[in-house]
């Protein structure tokens, strides 16, 4: 089992910045991918960004150039630096970790952290 604990959400004005963190613990194997999803009220969840253990990143078009995902493999922690925030970035942000286990891709989720962009 894997546990994910997020932190860093909050209220920020448009144009501001926030940094989210997510620490993973438990049975973590090499070759995992960690990432961030978000879900705004009344909308489907969407991938924000993810990063492999080797550092290969992938971003949603809506956040490219504004958000940066990074990770510290020694700490099993992933970060999401968000800049130039817009009201449409308001959502609950969820951290996840995917890894192979017993020939199956298993995905674990954090509890979510609220990000609100408003003046």
Q: Position of tokens 């199956």?
A: 104
β 18-26/77-82 pair status: antiparallel
Q: What is the mean pLDDT of residues 72-95?
A: 97
CA distance 21 to 23: 7
Task: Grade residue 37 by pLDDT with cuts at 50, 70 and 90.
Answer: very high
pLDDT of residue 3: 97
In angstroms, the CA 73 to CA 53 distance is 7
Tens of pLDDT, residues 52-78: 999 999 999 999 999 999 999 999 999
Quick check: 31 pLDDT over 90? no
> Is the pLDDT assigned to residue 83 strictly greater than 90?
yes
Average pLDDT, the chain: 96
**30 pLDDT tier (thresholds 50, 70, 90):** confident
* Res 79 pLDDT > 90: yes
Cα–Cα distance between 100 and 119 in angstroms, integer?
A: 43
């Amino acid at each position: 089992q894997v546990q994910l604990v997020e932190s860093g959400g909050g209220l920020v004005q448009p144009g501001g910045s926030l940094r989210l963190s997510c620490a993973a613990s438990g049975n973590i194997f090499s070759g995992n991918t960690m990432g961030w999803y978000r879900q705004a009220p009344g909308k489907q969840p969407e991938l924000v960004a993810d990063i492999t253990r080797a550092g290969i990143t992938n971003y949603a078009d809506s956040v490219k150039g504004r958000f940066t995902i990074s990770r510290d493999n020694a700490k099993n922690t992933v970060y999401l630096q968000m800049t130039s925030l817009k009201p449409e970035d308001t959502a609950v942000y969820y951290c996840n970790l995917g890894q192979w286990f017993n020939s199956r891709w298993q995905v674990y989720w954090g509890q979510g952290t609220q990000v609100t962009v408003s003046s």
